[in-house]
């Protein structure tokens, strides 16, 4: 029988055409985890695919005329570009300070998502559309001492440990092994290209991941009341209890990537003042050293100057990645079949590792970092599933009630009717009577729920028909369920406080 022979003397895989594009989305997504794991920036020493996509994507962070011309696109801050900022948070209503935020920030969004996923305690009662209420006791945050008097309080958020370091040994070891095998086979083209991929990806991962995540807050006023308030997002609410400085870190705080000076250079960009000469409009620049009658040039320059950050080191890494793609495109066809196979093997293993990193829930990792930074645990966050929105409204209002007599509520700024209105804007006669009865019961401060029945409503329901009376009775029943659950929580809190006090005395 005739034999079939394959002549591979002139066979060439020519993988350079897709070397920089294959796995680009996975590589870009994998790079977004570089700040979320401790030591992740040291594990990028492998020949990663998608160098062109990564270079073009992250080159837009390096913001200046030069870098914008090389990597066109909207100027982006690294924090939002890497997914650590930008998500709108829920509405926030303070119970005593009068603060109202129609939309909070990224940290409040992360906290709301974590509380939504938390296992809830089901409260027995009438059920229509369940609502979740999380009671969160904000812990005291130790901010770093600001060096400047006008500096905003902040502190470094430490990344979490993970098993990614062990998984990273596979692409790193494969890239090094294939590089050595190419040298052993005298294929110096593929050897140099794999080595270039290792260096380019490793340096880029190190530079982009060199920043620390900082939780940056806003300084509260010195005589600010307690920051108690409620975050509201549809059928889920978070009652936040604590000092103003701790609560404001949730409602107005944000994550910020703090790069070292060698990676970030500040540029003073002067604003332009538009003036009219003759029939045309031209730009009038404020030059240094120029004075006018109102003041010196230094003061004018400080007012008109705008400070921008140029991340030149990230721009250089992007250039290196693009150069890697061009070099691979030109030189891979010069290698042998064995070297090209080794190159593909290193690519395949690296792509699998990037796919592993990109499959991680980066939002969940951010939630973990936030919970750790705020010193929260399951003991500080309790979620309750209530059967109706009226029950949830009363329960949240009771949780926000300050520990003082009802006569001091106005002085403290606590207005429970406003909290109830945020939950239930209905203003019919039935709802008005219901709210009055709930407020009357709250002001009484007794465990006997005498105000939450039809008899206590008196003449106000004399004109009600049977349907209105039945509706009011059902709503008052929901309120009784909320009061009973709140009384149960108070009893548990006193019991825990007593046991802790006894244990401390025993230890002493």
Looking at residue 204, what is its pLDDT? 94
Of 250, 264, 225, nearest to 97 by C-alpha is 225
Model confidence at 113, in pLDDT bands (50, 70, 90)?
very high
353 with 429, same domain: the answer is no
Give me the chain's average pLDDT, please: 82
* Most confident of the ranges 27-31, 78-82, 176-180, 494-498: 176-180
Looking at residue 298, what is its pLDDT? 41
177 with 268, same domain: the answer is yes
pLDDT surpassing 70 at residue 21: no
415 with 501, same domain: the answer is yes
On whether residue 458 sits in a domain, the answer given is: yes
**Averaged pLDDT for residues 11-28:** 65
Which residues is 335 bridged to in the sheet?
Answer: none
200 with 333, same domain: the answer is yes
Do residues 382 and 123 touch, judged by C-beta distance below 8 A?
no
On whether residue 193 sits in a domain, the answer given is: yes
What are the DSSP calls for 163-207, one per residue? THHHHHHHHHHHHHHHHHHHHHTT-HHHHHHHHHHHHHHHHHHHH
447 with 331, same domain: the answer is no
Looking at residue 274, what is its pLDDT? 41
Q: Within 13 Å, how many C-alpha atoms sit on residue 74's CB side?
A: 5
On whether residue 426 sits in a domain, the answer given is: yes
326 with 472, same domain: the answer is no
On whether residue 329 sits in a domain, the answer given is: yes
> Phi and psi for 460 in degrees, rounded to 5?
-70, -20
Pair type for strands 91-94 and 100-101: antiparallel
CA distance 299 to 303: 6
Range of the domain at 425: 399-508
pLDDT surpassing 70 at residue 425: yes
Of 390, 371, 391, 389, nearest to 381 by C-alpha is 371
More confident residue, 428 or 8: 428
pLDDT surpassing 50 at residue 273: no
Q: How many domains does the chain have?
A: 2
Quick check: helix, strand or coil at residue 163?
coil
48 with 196, same domain: the answer is yes
Joined tokens for residue 132: 């979740």
CA distance 246 to 153: 11
316 with 412, same domain: the answer is no
Do residues 51 and 201 touch, judged by C-beta distance below 8 A?
yes
On whether residue 384 sits in a domain, the answer given is: no
Lowest mean pLDDT among 216-220, 301-305, 434-438: 301-305
CA distance 192 to 179: 8
Of 234, 139, 227, 125, nearest to 488 by C-alpha is 125
pLDDT surpassing 90 at residue 108: yes
State the distance between the two ends of the chain, measured CA to CA, in whole angstroms: 97
Sign of CA dihedral 362, 363, 365, 369: positive
**Averaged pLDDT for residues 99-106:** 92
Looking at residue 147, what is its pLDDT? 53
Looking at residue 59, what is its pLDDT? 87
CA distance 156 to 262: 19
∠ Cα 47 200 12 (to 5°): 45
Sign of CA dihedral 141, 147, 149, 151: negative
pLDDT surpassing 90 at residue 306: no
On whether residue 456 sits in a domain, the answer given is: yes
On whether residue 392 sits in a domain, the answer given is: no
More confident residue, 8 or 92: 92
39 with 179, same domain: the answer is yes
Lowest mean pLDDT among 45-59, 379-393, 455-469: 455-469
CA distance 55 to 35: 18
36 with 170, same domain: the answer is yes
Looking at residue 397, what is its pLDDT? 93
On whether residue 413 sits in a domain, the answer given is: yes
335 with 416, same domain: the answer is no
CA distance 231 to 127: 23
472 with 346, same domain: the answer is no
pLDDT tens-place string over residues 460-492: 888 888 898 999 999 999 999 999 999 888 877
Lowest mean pLDDT among 240-249, 256-265, 320-329, 465-474: 256-265
């Amino acid at each position: 029988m005739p034999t079939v022979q394959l002549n591979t003397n002139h066979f060439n895989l020519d993988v350079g055409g897709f070397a920089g594009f294959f796995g680009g989305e996975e590589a870009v997504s994998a790079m977004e985890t570089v700040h979320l794991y401790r030591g992740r920036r040291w594990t990028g020493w492998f020949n990663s695919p998608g160098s062109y996509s990564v270079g073009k994507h992250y080159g837009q962070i390096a913001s200046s005329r030069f870098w914008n011309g090389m990597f066109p696109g909207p100027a982006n801050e690294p924090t939002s570009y890497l997914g650590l900022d930008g998500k709108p948070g829920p509405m926030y209503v303070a119970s005593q300070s009068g603060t109202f935020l129609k939309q909070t920030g990224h940290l409040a969004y992360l906290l709301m998502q974590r509380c939504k996923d938390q296992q809830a305690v089901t409260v027995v009662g009438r059920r229509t559309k369940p609502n979740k209420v999380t009671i969160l006791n904000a812990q005291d945050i130790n901010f770093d001492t600001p060096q400047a008097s006008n500096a905003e309080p902040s502190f470094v958020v430490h990344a979490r440990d993970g098993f990614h370091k062990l998984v990273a040994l596979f692409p790193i070891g494969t890239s090094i092994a294939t590089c050595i095998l190419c040298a052993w086979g005298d294929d110096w083209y593929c050897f140099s290209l794999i080595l270039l991929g290792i260096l380019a990806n490793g340096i880029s991962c190190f530079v982009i991941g060199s920043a620390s995540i900082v939780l940056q807050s806003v300084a509260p006023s010195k005589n600010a009341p307690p920051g108690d308030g409620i975050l509201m997002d549809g059928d889920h609410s978070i009652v936040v209890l604590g000092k103003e400085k701790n609560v404001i870190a949730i409602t107005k705080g944000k994550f910020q990537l703090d790069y070292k000076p060698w990676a970030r250079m500040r540029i003073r960009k002067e604003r332009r003042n538009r003036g009219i000469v003759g029939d045309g409009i031209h730009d009038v620049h404020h030059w240094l050293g120029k004075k006018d009658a109102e003041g010196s040039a230094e003061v004018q320059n400080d007012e008109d100057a705008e400070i921008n950050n140029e991340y030149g080191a990230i721009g250089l890494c992007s250039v290196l990645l693009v150069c890697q793609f061009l070099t691979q495109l030109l030189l891979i066809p010069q290698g042998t079949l064995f070297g090209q196979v080794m190159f593909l093997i290193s690519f395949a293993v690296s792509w699998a590792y990037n796919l592993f990193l990109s499959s991680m829930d980066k939002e969940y990792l951010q939630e973990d970092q936030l919970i750790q930074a705020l010193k929260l645990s399951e003991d500080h966050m309790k979620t309750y599933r209530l059967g109706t929105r009226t029950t949830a409204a009363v329960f949240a209002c009771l949780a926000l009630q300050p520990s003082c007599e009802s006569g001091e509520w106005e002085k403290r700024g606590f207005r429970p009717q406003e909290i109830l209105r945020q939950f239930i804007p209905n203003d019919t006669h039935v709802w008005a009577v219901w709210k009055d009865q709930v407020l009357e019961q709250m002001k009484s401060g007794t465990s006997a729920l005498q105000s939450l029945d039809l008899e206590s409503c008196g003449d106000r329901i004399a004109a009600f028909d049977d349907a209105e009376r039945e509706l009011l009775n059902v709503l008052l029943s929901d309120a009784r369920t909320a009061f009973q659950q709140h009384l149960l929580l108070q009893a548990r809190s006193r019991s825990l406080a007593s046991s802790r006090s006894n244990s401390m005395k025993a230890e002493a």
